[in-house]
Structure 1
């Protein structure tokens, strides 16, 4: 029984392996799977844990207090007379401790804490950029699939036209040149199909590099006809305030504030206090000793660092305003382009495609009746397929524009359908 079961499993495994190698058999990947793989294995995102560990080390270092210092002084030794060798020496042992004033330790920790927030913001920005880059390549593969389908339909239409023209040539109604002209057009379309297939195969390889693997799929899932709805400008402007790029800029401003506060605290001098015991060998006495030291602040020795920190803080404030303006301009520009593309798609479907289809049907019928030439038939075919090609490119551009709005806003915009075939 076990042997029979093993044989069945071996048969099933062999059959599955055979299916995977069969040409023309499509194994598609969907967008959610591509996103999961990218987040799990993208090389650019694998560095984040090491950055966190490095910052944990900085936090540990920033929180350390100065260590106490052991002092040992030996005086009046190895002299002459009463100070010969160690007869009259004085030995002092003491411990001293540097006391940091101005809350320097707390301010160092504050700088590292704000850096930690910045690292998280940087990761969110990198994560958005990585996913957006992957999705652009995903839509590129989807675009090429639609173009292959479009060109395949063109090949079928041209092949059918060749048969019609050959039939009329056999009847002596048209010349051989008409047949050759349509055959040339068919050969060009077939060559184009081979080119599109090669581009599609390469696009799958590019897509799989986002998770550092070779593609285990032969196509991607998606519907270019399901174009997203145009988001409201007000919602986009509000989203800019919470986008990871803008929040990172805010965090960097806070880091510069903390660094300025630390530089100002560093201008306050530390004090050193100590205590110990002194041994008088000559009189066989012991005594306690105390010491205190503090630099004289004739001038601020950290004024250069303070000036530098103030300039850097002002720079981050200006950079934050510039970034906000750039984001608003970019969002408005992309929003306008997306609106134009959606209007263009609506015009194509409502006006251009019906007219082009009617024109081709009329010219094809008229050609068979001898009313139109083969060149007019070719022109009518070209008009229809040019419109279809333009439609695919506009749909692809609309999806990329919506993707860019998502990336700039840092939020998942609602992908309601605005236009569908």
Structure 2
């Protein structure tokens, strides 16, 4: 029967091949992402922000147009021509050239300008809210990419540790101090670690692709040098009621109230004034004409439009009240999540330090033959799990800060919009 230790050289060669493959397949990342603040300035020129800028420009143009008076009307009228008797031909013609102007009484222009101003203010707050959304989404994508990069680095280091532990186990197998089963287990763990490294690489590449797209850049981002996960979030600077999204709804309610006044003014009669010059050919004389016209509101007083505008005010007020309640609750939840995430980061860092020291001591004991491979494997798994937990805790803290900053109407991590 062949000796159970004859497979040891083969196992050693397999582990060496795994380590070499990890070194050769690891790509060189040469396009690091700039700092979060620089990337945010770039992202604010992306299509999403450009759309909000265009909407604001349109609202400003409508405000300008709302303040313009209506154009006067020019009328030319010729009377007493091409008739019979003394009105044959054009010798007795009376030609009148007049200008008429809508006087826009009852506060019509002021109401129209008020609505346009409120709509412009709402568009401005919507633009600010859109920029905050971009900032929050970019912070999440940046943190996700950095976390994916750290997980890849951890998977790479885990593979190296697994291979080193497998080699140490093989040495004991060759010395006859461990059964061949331990060497086979070490080879299996190294293969699993290699598969985990491939998965971590795919997740890292996907995360950086998402970050590149969100930043609106042409050059693919492939690494993070300036950490966002390690940055401590600033203290909260406000409450949800001050968020631009809520202020936009308040401006929309004001615009709805202005539409009520505008519809009420539309229900009053139109008043037009006219001034003209009349030429009387028969008398070879010229005279001025003046007039005033008033629309009689006998059938249409715009009551339906007024009722509709009043209903829109009630709807806008309901939306505003609901948004304030939701924003307040969301702000409290986000603040609690960020505080909890900060506590988890502290606990995770302590766990990483303890697990790393436990692995170091276990490795020393294993090499000295006082501890088994199972204990070494357990210590290594505990250290890797602790470090993964620390990465997840930092990612949760960064996401909670991005969410809280949006609700407070500020950019994440003290950045400027």
TM-score, normalised by the number of residues in structure 2:
0.82
Q: SS at the partner of 1:301?
A: coil
Quick check: 1:68 aligned with 2:60?
no
1:354-365 → structure 2 map (5 Å cutoff):
356-357=355-356, 359-360=358-359, 363-364=362-363
How many residue pairs get aligned? The number is 388
Distance 1:131 1:108 in 2: 35
Of 104-113 and 364-373, deviating more is 364-373
Distance 2:27 2:162 in 1: 25
In structure 2, the partner of 1:411 is 410
- Which residue, out of 53, 63, 76, partners 1:59? 63
Once superposed, what is the RMSD of the aligned Cα atoms? Answer: 2.9
Distance 1:24 1:284 in 2: 97
Distance 2:195 2:102 in 1: 81
1:238-387 → structure 2 map (5 Å cutoff):
238-279=238-279, 287-298=287-298, 301-350=301-350, 352-353=351-352, 356-357=355-356, 359-360=358-359, 363-364=362-363, 367-368=366-367, 373-387=372-386
Q: 1:275 to 1:231 in 2, by over 3 A?
A: closer
CA offset at residue 370 of structure 1?
A: 5.8
Distance 1:414 1:242 in 2: 18
Q: 1:23 to 1:148 in 2, by over 3 A?
A: closer
Task: Verify the 8 A CA contact 1:154 1:385 in the aligned structure 2.
Answer: yes
- Which residue, out of 16, 33, 38, partners 1:33? 38
Distance 1:370 1:393 in 2: 35
Task: Verify the 8 A CA contact 1:118 1:248 in the aligned structure 2.
Answer: yes
- Which residue, out of 146, 155, 160, partners 1:156? 160
1:166-245 → structure 2 map (5 Å cutoff):
166-215=170-219, 217-223=221-227, 226=230, 228=232, 231=235, 238-245=238-245
Q: 1:25 to 1:414 in 2, by over 3 A?
A: closer
CA deviations 1:7-31 (Å, max 9, x no partner) are: xxxxxxxxxxxxxxx9636453222
TM-score, normalised by the number of residues in structure 1:
0.81
Q: SS at the partner of 1:149?
A: helix
Quick check: 1:47 aligned with 2:46?
no
CA deviations 1:379-407 (Å, max 9, x no partner) are: 33222211221121111111111111111
CA offset at residue 228 of structure 1?
A: 2.8
Task: Verify the 8 A CA contact 2:125 2:244 in the aligned structure 1.
Answer: yes
Q: SS at the partner of 1:47?
A: helix
CA deviations 1:280-333 (Å, max 9, x no partner) are: 556666554432210122355221221111111222222111111111111222
- Which residue, out of 146, 150, 153, partners 2:150? 146
